[in-house]
Structure 1
Amino acid sequence: MSQPSIQPPLHASEAPGRPGLKPTWTSSDKDAVTGALGGGRVRAAVGYGVVNEVYWPSSGEPQVRDLTFIVKTAGGWVDIKRDCTYSLTPHEDGPLISIEHRLASDPAFSLKLEILPSIENDSLLINYDLVGGTLYALLAPHLADSGEDNSAWIQGGVMYAQRGDSALAFLASGEFGKMSAGFVGVSDGWQDFNQHGEMTWQYGKAEHGTVALMAELKDAQGTLALAFAHHAPGAAIHARSGLQRPFALQREEFLASWKTWTSRLRLPDGSDEETGRARLSAQVIRVHEGSDFAGAIVASLSVPFGQAHDSLGGYHLVWPRDMVEAATGLLAVGQVNDAVRSLNYLLAAQSPDGHWPQNIFPNGEPFWSGDQLDETAFVLLLMAKLREVEQDDNFTARALEWAATRAVGYLLRHGPVSQEDRWEENSGISAYTVAIMIAGLVAATSWLTPAQTELALAVADDWNARLEGWCYVTGQDAALAGKYGVDGYYIRIAPQAAEQPGQQDVTIANTADLKVKAGGLVSLDFGYLVRVGLRQATDPRIQNSLKVVDGELRKETPSGPLYYRYQHDAYGNTADGGPFLGLNDGIGRLWPLLAGERGHLALLAGGSADEYLDAMLRSSGDGGLFPEQVWDTEPEKTFEPGKPAGSAMPLVWAHAEYLKLLWARQNGRSYETLEAVKDRYLSGSPAPKVTFWTTNAPVFRLAANLDLSVQDTQPFTLHFGFGDAGQWTSIQDKDAEEGEFGLWQVRFTARELAGRGRLNFVRRYDSGWESQNWRVELPST
């Protein structure tokens, strides 16, 4: 490292224009993501050939909007992000990001970048090599998850920024020339070049606003260090430490640690392209697990449509569902230790009442407040999967028993109606959520007492038997049956348990609260009935539903067949390609993830998944990342049909789906299927002995030979009688008895009820009578 020369004096005043433009994040259309395996806690994404979004100390805490470059050339100036074309060079061993930028108007021009986080401290290292001008680095801090109220300054040849307890330091291996701190949109370095064609401003500080730092790099080749700590001097220590060791040596160490991890992968058979993408997918998932909270995998190192807003959340959050999908994907390719770490994190993040929050920051702080029952049940599936591969001894018996008992209790007290479905938009009964819950109840019995097991299995059997009544429509309920020549199909969601589920109104919240009949709304969500082992893929009901879904939601694109989430979806770009801002002007786009789900169903029914695997591969970004959504109409100035549409990329869930589909193709079965679930429902399919009446899942007609349990989460007295609703006979009162998991019940045997016509009842609580009478039609014999 060369000796620094005396810096020219900086302008003493603060930059004008406080607070600058309203901050936003940057595009979620990423090229690559990277992170170190070791002590370094920095994670970074690259989009449009430059660093955009850097995370520290966890993968849920973005600190930088972007770090880009301007080049002063003999003919003017070049904005690397806007004016150049670039290419990425993949590295098989690990996520080292190599980029070369070219300029069409000057074949001799070249800017090469290599980007990697340090394996031993909290710095991001960028090695650069420029041919054809003078390089300027332009850095936009968004510290502590926001672009607001950041302060930037220059001191002793180091560039700093701070907000709250997050600070960064920016340093070069050679000398910085001119340096300046400014307010974005007014006095930042890009505005300087735009107005003057060169760097003329040298402001010493810009405080309490949306800020940017610019530095002239005197050396054409060198290394930059962008480092973080809880105070500025500590960040400078990390930056200097990152530059005092040769970049080539740190590059070698970075790749060596990743090569060790990658060598443990057991990738399914496939073409070179398929296998290469599987390797990349596993690495992408691993990058999304931060180092500050071991095991926590965020959904994406991105903020969907971030160029238009400054959301505190984005996708850099842990969704338990997405995380279990990701951990299961890694488990399917042999990364047992990673799956163990993830379960360990989830066990620690369980809420006291037994459920897992809708999403949380890696530090455990909840973000959104919704409740999705599949997310709680998914953790039980991961516990059971690790038990199947004989890895449950990584945990104490008490930890697993405690987690399972609380989770099962929560599912029994709240199911089968979930406050939100897997798309986080509707309350109701979804075949997807119920399937995961049934499998979770069966999976959990390894850790329950005999009495708890008896109840959990009884409810699982009951829900399994009633599932079609809730979610499969026929006759007048099935508005699309005639169109596709089927007698029925699974609907996306039933807002509540009802005698005619298809006639209920479903509100499409992201489409100006549009109301449609449940019987006309479909999705691929029912596929998990097959994936978890409740139904055969060849079941006529599954095949009927696929005909409807293929007709309603499938679209042929240049990338292959892709699928929408459901009709009337409005989560996606506006018609002209603009960002989704929740203003009821978005249009739902195609999801490569769903091509993977459709491929599973094709494969498990005895067909081929190849066209769906190919569609996933073709719809990825230039760096091989799978996007959340792809463009679905004519080419637009920014988007091409069948290619990423600017929402989240990468979507970790999609990378996990790809790994599991490759595994399923090689093994002829779904990786998610647990032996205990398959044996119970595909081999034996036990008939339930009791059906459970609850307020959110009432029983309207009792099947023959079934006991009836009227159940609640608090003590009550059942006031009941038989016969006509207006002429009750044999009127009695029964006090509910307390059972397992804090549930209370009044139970009638099948013999007591047979031939009584109708059971009528109302409940009395300590607070008084409920406001509704209920009825159950009884079997004749």
Structure 2
Amino acid sequence: MSPVTAPVASSPLVVAPVAPGAPGAVATWASAAKTGAGASYEAYVDGRYQDGGPTGAVSKVWFSLADGVLTETMYGLIHEAQIKSLRFGVVTPGGLSVEGTDTTSRTEYLHTDRDGRPLSPAYRVVTTDKGGAYQIDKRVFTDPDRNALVLRVSITAKSGPVTPYLLLEPHMANTGGGDRGEAAPEALRASEGDVHLTLAPSQPFEAASAGFLGASDGLTDLTANRRLTRAYASTGDAAGSVVLTGALPTIAQGQTLTRDYVIGFGQSAAEADAAAAASFATGLDEVVARFNGEGARVGWEDWVGSLTELPRLAAQSTDDGKLAYASALMLKVQEDRTYAGALIASLSNPWGETVDATNPSTGYKAVWPRDFYQVAMALMALGDRETPLAAFRYLPQVQVTAQTPGNTGATGWFLQKTHVDGQIEWVGVQLDQTAMPIMLGWRLWKAGELSDAELAGFYSRMIKPAADFLVQGGTAGILWNDRRITPPWSQQERWEEQEGYSPSTTAAVIAGLTTAADIARASGDAPSAARYQAAADDYASKVEARMFTTAGEYGDGRYFLRLSRNENPNDKGLLGENNGQPAEPEDRIIDGGFLELVRYGVRAADAPSILDTLPEYDDQARADRFRVRYDLNGAPGYRRYGNDGYGERTDTGGDYGVGGVMAPAQRGRVWPFFTGERGHYEVAAASANGPMSTEARDRIRRTYVHGMESFANEGLLLPEQVWDGVGANAHGYRDGEGTDSATPLAWTHAEYLKLLRSLADGQVWDRYAPVAERYGR
């Protein structure tokens, strides 16, 4: 809270037409530790998103919540942020208090069933001043029939009079600069190019101002003067980092002020105005009822109700299914509404508060085929019969072909990271990301969701080129990448950092080729089927020879490496430097990738190489740099690998990669989905020789299911990383609490749901029968 200063003379508000101080301070993104994320449910029309279906016009607005305030809000494509934050600054008898900084908060779902399980991603967020001066209650949801976001706000003065100010920081066109703003009591507006927003209040503001961040904005004025002393009608012709401010009436102690706000988006100011006005005209009670799908309305309740397996999965939980329902919502929320089936990694920008927003940034709001596969498989596990098929049909957009812009090299592999419209962002070759689309297609085919005829079309168009690449490799020729790839050697493994032979990558490649062989036979291509299976046989026969050391530094020296850079796992070759961490001999670096060999069926759960590696993976006596397992909240948790530097600094507690600098003190923390991966191994072991016992199922539920549930925050969102208790803790995290890396992480929610499905089925959901029957006996 800003301290009380000498009283300011009650001089009149100075009103001016144009704000000075352009372009303002450099803007950043918001915290990635989201406690809520939402969008409307939109029904497909013939497998696509288009107006006129059961849910009417398609709304293309997403929002997020962190620290009790509205954070990144997207309109258009799912990565196109238009707002950084909307919060309130409140002048109290003790000084200026700002939401997020000077408040505590709680987040809860507005619409739940009688057991408290969420039925839609509409939220109630309550912030309370740390000094006890006020409380703010916000209801947040989108309008499912138009491009608009709704906030219904009540502010209560607790211990004296308070004067609130709405503070909107737009980031139009996915940048923190280049914006223009206008402010009037009737509306606040921002724009960049052909993207516009209008914030319309249910009652006019007492005063309104548009200013430049850190120079002429309302928060800077309030911090200095404890009231708005100057109001600017616009930012004029200059563009920059803009803040829009709306003053509300003073609230007497014990009184509550209620206001509604609708933020409309559009390709013109008139279109944004019309969107906001139409939401008000519909009535906001009706808007939220449509959002939820109450009664005869089609909305989120209908989608949740269509998930035939969700009740069965929820029965395996230890929290009465609350996280299972929230996880289902999070996976569907994080799908684009223009490109059906385009599933992103997270609706967040990692460590956003220290990331420069001058240039556009997708953060994790992008397509990685690996994360994509996890989500599609989890949606299948829920009984969703539409989204996984739409996802599979989307995949050709991110596969490299002769027509891929700028490509002069090999084809068939899948791009590392793209925007949902297919725009290329990263171009490293990761062989698991080329195998997993094949695996997904096979599962859909075997489930009867993909017809023989459609499968044959996809075989020639997408699956055969991918499988051919997994056999023969090739030389990449796109942007910076001109490397020769010789499978199963991969230019990058699943952590996108190292080249070589990886157990997790190889497991996916073997599963991809085995399922490709099955598809090839069904498509009448027996020669290719034989070729694919022969390659899989060769790769499977050399798994231990290439990646299992018998002369390692730990234990008896026998265990799987995270990665071997060549075909000799005993040569103690150095891995590359990454994330500020020094190169280390490969036998010092262990990860959980070997468990994927069991998950997909490449090795049995009791294979000697697997059993030899488990004690080293679970060893908690190792020095922190190389230690992987940390028990948190009474459950086993795991880092990505020893020597991981993708996380907060141990010396200062500062964020990862601030200013693009890779610091030696950076440390990757515990990732909750590894608890699920370890649990999946236990499912495989418990079901290896017959039906899983009740005792084994209960043990896995108590240890691994409950463990994952313990990592969820109050909004039932699961993070990428949680605090492991090592080093300086500048953020004050409790052990096991999500850090600012990325929440919600779709992969974590997917792993949780797949673990529930595996327990419900009594066998691993991601197990591929043809693989297990051939290699995993």
Read off the aligned partner of 1:276 and give its amino acid letter.
K
Instruction: Quote how far apart the aligned CAs of 1:56 are.
Output: 1.5
Q: Confirm or deny: 8 A CA contact 2:378 2:753 kept in the other structure.
A: yes
5+ residue gaps, structure 1, are 1-7, 684-781
Aligned counterpart for 1:343 among listed residues 392, 395, 419: 392
Q: Confirm or deny: 8 A CA contact 2:494 2:505 kept in the other structure.
A: yes
How many Å separate the matches in 1 of 2:387 and 2:139? 27
Aligned counterpart for 1:445 among listed residues 510, 513, 517: 517
Does 2:553 align with 1:479?
yes
Identity %: 29
Aligned counterpart for 1:412 among listed residues 471, 482, 500: 471
SS in 2 for 1:152: strand
Aligned residue runs from structure 1 range 603-622, under 5 A: 603-606=683-686, 607=696, 608-609=699-700, 610-622=702-714
Q: Greater shift after overlay, 84-93 or 411-420?
A: 84-93
Q: Confirm or deny: 8 A CA contact 1:561 1:615 kept in the other structure.
A: yes
Does 2:60 align with 1:41?
yes
Instruction: Quote how far apart the aligned CAs of 1:15 are.
Output: 1.5
Instruction: Quote how far apart the aligned CAs of 1:501 are.
Output: 4.4
How many Å separate the matches in 2 of 1:676 and 1:560? 33
Instruction: Quote how far apart the aligned CAs of 1:299 are.
Output: 0.6
- CA 1:271–1:383 in 2, change beyond 3 Å: closer, same or farther? closer
Aligned residue runs from structure 1 range 14-93, under 5 A: 14-38=18-42, 39-73=58-92, 76-90=95-109, 91=111, 92-93=118-119
- CA 1:529–1:271 in 2, change beyond 3 Å: closer, same or farther? closer
Does 2:674 align with 1:594?
yes
Which residue in 2 is equivalent to 1:569?
644
Aligned counterpart for 2:563 among listed residues 493, 500, 515: 493
Residues 646-697 of structure 1 deviation map (CA, whole Å, 9 limit, x = unaligned): 11111110000000111112222111112222222235xxxxxxxxxxxxxx
Aligned counterpart for 2:335 among listed residues 286, 289, 302: 289
Aligned counterpart for 2:247 among listed residues 201, 208, 216: 216
Which residue in 2 is equivalent to 1:752?
none
Which residue in 2 is equivalent to 1:329?
378
SS in 2 for 1:664: helix
How many Å separate the matches in 1 of 2:215 and 2:511? 57
Aligned counterpart for 2:609 among listed residues 521, 536, 541: 541
SS in 2 for 1:94: coil
Instruction: Quote how far apart the aligned CAs of 1:559 are.
Output: 5.0
How many Å separate the matches in 1 of 2:772 and 2:377? 18
Which residue in 1 is equivalent to 2:207?
178
Q: Greater shift after overlay, 621-630 or 112-121?
A: 621-630
Does 2:262 align with 1:225?
yes
Which residue in 2 is equivalent to 1:770?
none
Which residue in 1 is equivalent to 2:114?
none
SS in 2 for 1:528: helix
Does 2:128 align with 1:102?
yes
Does 2:725 align with 1:643?
no
Which residue in 1 is equivalent to 2:346?
300
Does 2:17 align with 1:13?
yes
Q: Confirm or deny: 8 A CA contact 1:565 1:591 kept in the other structure.
A: yes
Read off the aligned partner of 2:341 and give its amino acid letter.
G
Which residue in 2 is equivalent to 1:399?
458
SS in 2 for 1:209: coil
Q: Confirm or deny: 8 A CA contact 2:185 2:206 kept in the other structure.
A: no
How many Å separate the matches in 1 of 2:268 and 2:24? 24
Read off the aligned partner of 2:337 and give its amino acid letter.
S
How many Å separate the matches in 2 of 1:193 and 1:369? 46
Instruction: Quote how far apart the aligned CAs of 1:560 are.
Output: 2.5
Aligned residue runs from structure 1 range 84-233, under 5 A: 84-90=103-109, 91=111, 92-106=118-132, 109-132=134-157, 133-154=162-183, 157-206=186-235, 207-217=238-248, 220-233=257-270
Which residue in 2 is equivalent to 1:456?
532
Which residue in 2 is equivalent to 1:661?
755
Q: How many residues align?
A: 667
SS in 1 for 2:425: coil
TM-score, scaled to structure 1 = 0.82
How many Å separate the matches in 2 of 1:57 and 1:46? 19
How many Å separate the matches in 2 of 1:550 and 1:675? 28
Which residue in 2 is equivalent to 1:623?
715
Which residue in 2 is equivalent to 1:388?
446
Read off the aligned partner of 1:570 and give its amino acid letter.
G
How many Å separate the matches in 1 of 2:281 and 2:248? 18
Does 2:487 align with 1:424?
no
Which residue in 1 is equivalent to 2:546?
470
Instruction: Quote how far apart the aligned CAs of 1:445 are.
Output: 2.3
Which residue in 2 is equivalent to 1:583?
662
Q: Greater shift after overlay, 230-239 or 243-252?
A: 230-239
The structure with the greater share of residues assigned to strand is: 1
Instruction: Quote how far apart the aligned CAs of 1:637 are.
Output: 4.6
- CA 1:580–1:381 in 2, change beyond 3 Å: closer, same or farther? same
Q: Confirm or deny: 8 A CA contact 1:508 1:568 kept in the other structure.
A: no
Instruction: Quote how far apart the aligned CAs of 1:104 are.
Output: 4.9
How many Å separate the matches in 2 of 1:667 and 1:259? 25
Residues 150-193 of structure 1 deviation map (CA, whole Å, 9 limit, x = unaligned): 21123683322122332211111221221111111121111111
Does 2:275 align with 1:234?
no
Structure possessing the higher radius of gyration over alpha carbons = 1
How many Å separate the matches in 2 of 1:365 and 1:642? 36
Q: Confirm or deny: 8 A CA contact 1:355 1:407 kept in the other structure.
A: yes
Aligned counterpart for 2:287 among listed residues 238, 247, 250: 250
SS in 2 for 1:503: coil
5+ residue gaps, structure 2, are 1-11, 43-57, 112-117, 250-255, 294-298, 402-410, 474-486, 620-626, 687-695
Instruction: Quote how far apart the aligned CAs of 1:272 are.
Output: 5.7
Read off the aligned partner of 2:126 and give its amino acid letter.
E
TM-score, scaled to structure 2 = 0.83
Q: Confirm or deny: 8 A CA contact 2:317 2:705 kept in the other structure.
A: no
Aligned counterpart for 1:555 among listed residues 614, 619, 630: 630
How many Å separate the matches in 2 of 1:64 and 1:259? 28
Read off the aligned partner of 2:347 and give its amino acid letter.
L
Instruction: Quote how far apart the aligned CAs of 1:237 are.
Output: 1.6
Residues 496-523 of structure 1 deviation map (CA, whole Å, 9 limit, x = unaligned): 223x5442211131134x2211122110
Q: Confirm or deny: 8 A CA contact 2:683 2:764 kept in the other structure.
A: no
SS in 2 for 1:65: strand
- CA 1:497–1:272 in 2, change beyond 3 Å: closer, same or farther? closer
SS in 1 for 2:759: helix
How many Å separate the matches in 2 of 1:37 and 1:113? 21
Q: Confirm or deny: 8 A CA contact 2:187 2:200 kept in the other structure.
A: yes
Instruction: Quote how far apart the aligned CAs of 1:271 are.
Output: 4.3
SS in 2 for 1:481: coil
Q: Confirm or deny: 8 A CA contact 1:494 1:502 kept in the other structure.
A: no
Residues 726-751 of structure 1 deviation map (CA, whole Å, 9 limit, x = unaligned): xxxxxxxxxxxxxxxxxxxxxxxxxx
Read off the aligned partner of 2:747 and give its amino acid letter.
W
Q: Confirm or deny: 8 A CA contact 2:644 2:667 kept in the other structure.
A: yes
Which residue in 2 is equivalent to 1:755?
none
Q: Confirm or deny: 8 A CA contact 2:38 2:122 kept in the other structure.
A: yes
When the two chains are superposed, the root-mean-square deviation of aligned CA atoms in Å is 2.0
How many Å separate the matches in 2 of 1:386 and 1:116? 33
Instruction: Quote how far apart the aligned CAs of 1:537 are.
Output: 1.1
Q: Confirm or deny: 8 A CA contact 1:559 1:614 kept in the other structure.
A: no
Read off the aligned partner of 1:626 and give its amino acid letter.
L
Which residue in 1 is equivalent to 2:622?
none
Q: Which has the higher contact order (CA 8 A, sep 6+)?
A: 2
Instruction: Quote how far apart the aligned CAs of 1:628 are.
Output: 0.8
Q: Greater shift after overlay, 673-682 or 458-467?
A: 673-682
